[in-house]
Each structure stands twice: as C-alpha cells, then as structure tokens.
Amino acid sequence: MKQKRIVVIGVLIAIVVLLSSCMSNKDLVRTIEVSATGEVTLTPDIASFSIQVSELGKTTSEAQNFANEKMAQLLSIMRKNGIEEKDIKTTMLNLRPSYQWIEGKQYLEGQVASQTLSVTLRKLENLGSLIDQLGEVSGIYLNTVMLDKEDKSIGLEEARQQAVQKALAKAELYAKGAQMQVGKPITISEYSTASNPYNSRLKMAMASEAAYDMATEIPAGTMSVTSTVSMVLEMY
C-alpha cells in the first residue's frame, strides 16, 4: 500500500514537471509599468467668493432688520455688476444671542443676525470694481476670492492626451534599452487636478472711504490642469 502511494506521488510530480517544461516563452506575459503627466495652461473666466453680513440689535427682529438692510445694499451692487440670481445662494443664516463679560459676570447685550452668501461672477472684468463697491458697505466680510475656468473639459482632454503620449514614449524608451518591444496596454489609470491662480481673503469688517481711493486691480493670470496617467503594457 505504501509503495502504491509513493508511485502515485511520483507520477503526479512527473506530470507537473512535464507541463512546466511544455510552457514556451510565448506563454509568459512580460509587462512594464510607466506613468507620465500632461499639463495645460488655461485663462480663468469666472470668480467666486463668499460674503457675510452680521448685525447686532437689541432684539432678534431689530438685528434681522439691520442685516436685511445691509444685505439689500449688497444684492443691489451685485445685480448692477451683472450677477444673476442663480449665482447668488444663501449658505448660512444664523440668529443667536450675544453676551459680554463685565467684572466676571455674563450679560446679554442683544441679538445677532448673520447671513452668508456664495456668489459667482461670470463677468470677470467687473471683479475689481465689484470689490470696490462692496467695500463701501461697512461691517461686511468678503472671504476667499477664487478665480477659475468654468469649462475645463477641453484643457483636461489635451492634458490627458499629453500624458498618454509621454507614457507611451517612456515605455518605448525602456523597451528599446532592454531590446524588447511594447505591446498592448493591459491597464490604464488616471488622476487629474486643477490649480486655482488666486486665493485671497479680503476682510472688510471696518471699511472706510480712504481704503478705496484707488481702484482694486485683480489680474486674472493663468491656471493649469494636469492629468497623470499610469499604464501597464505588454512587452515581448
């Protein structure tokens, strides 16, 4: 019985060795992995920012009225600069009590009404003038002006094409050095990003006429979109 078991094991080993020896070089899949990045420069055509009004009143109703009056001024300025209703969105509305400490004791000083808007300006040539006009309204907070390209699809497509061509050229270079040839791609993955050229925090809590004697200039500059491609290709 023991001898039969040894014979069976020996036959199985022989079969495995035989199958392995029958495998030719063509059955082995050799691969190479490469990555490359393409970058395209774009010109921004829109600006976005958030603006906040916060007013203190003796009562909630009074604070709301103060805030509404100031918000009406801001909305009027925005409309005059070509900003449409669809590009003005309320992102925060807050009503809260306000306290102050006097000689270690907390006293209620009134109620605070706050409202924050998210704004998109599509006429970028109006940005400097718009900021100047908003700055004439005291007690507001204008936060994080961002310039961007509304439609980045064409630039991103070009960046991807650049990345693919660079990756293929790199694979060809490596293959030539190894005296081999590049075959079909097995897998392709991609990661893309876009950089914003301008990110400024303009806080106008205490605006004054003297601060706006000169017109604000905000050069649009340029921004870039990048695409990084990783490829695994056959080699033979």
Task: Output the pLDDT for position 222.
Answer: 87
In a domain, 178, yes or no: no
pLDDT at residue 16 is higher than 70: no
13 in a structural domain: no
pLDDT of residue 214 exceeding 80: no
Domain count, the chain: 1
Cα(198)–Cα(47) distance, integer angstroms:
9
pLDDT in tens, 35-66: 999 999 999 999 999 999 999 999 999 999 99
pLDDT at position 26: 55
Alpha-carbon gap, residue 171 to 191, rounded angstroms: 19
Residue 212 binned pLDDT confidence (cut-offs 50, 70, 90): very low
In CATH, what number is assigned to the domain containing residue 99?
3.30.70.2970
In a domain, 159, yes or no: no
User: CB pairs under 8 A, 24+ apart, for 167-170?
Assistant: 167/34, 167/35, 167/36, 167/229, 167/230, 167/231, 168/231, 169/36, 170/34, 170/36
In a domain, 9, yes or no: no
What is the structure's pLDDT at 17? Answer: 43
Does the residue 208 lie in any domain? yes
What percent of the chain stands above pLDDT 90? 68
For residues 188 and 231, is the Cβ–Cβ distance under 8 A?
Answer: yes
**Beta strands 88-102; 182-194: pairing state:** unpaired
The parent domain of residue 143 ranges over: 45-148+198-219
pTM of the shown model: 0.70
Q: In the prediction, which pLDDT does 76 show?
A: 96
**How far is 66 from 71, CA to CA, in rounded Å?**
9
Q: Using alpha carbons, list the distances in angstroms from residue 161 to 66, 73, 165, 173.
A: 55, 48, 6, 18
Is residue 18 situated within a structural domain?
A: no
Residue 135 vs residues 70, 101, 116, 147, 155: alpha-carbon distances, Å: 12, 31, 16, 19, 35
* pLDDT at 146 > cutoff 70: yes
Distance CA 79, CA 85 (A): 8
In this predicted structure, what is the pLDDT of residue 220? Answer: 75
Provide the percentage of residues in the chain whose pLDDT is more than 70.
Answer: 80
Residue 212 counted as domain residue? yes
Residue 31 has pLDDT above 50, yes or no: yes
Measured CA to CA, the distance from residue 64 to residue 234 in angstroms comes to 68
Angle between helices 127-135 and 60-80 (to 10 degrees): 150
pLDDT of residue 215: 63
- CA-to-CA distance for 51 and 144, rounded, in angstroms? 9
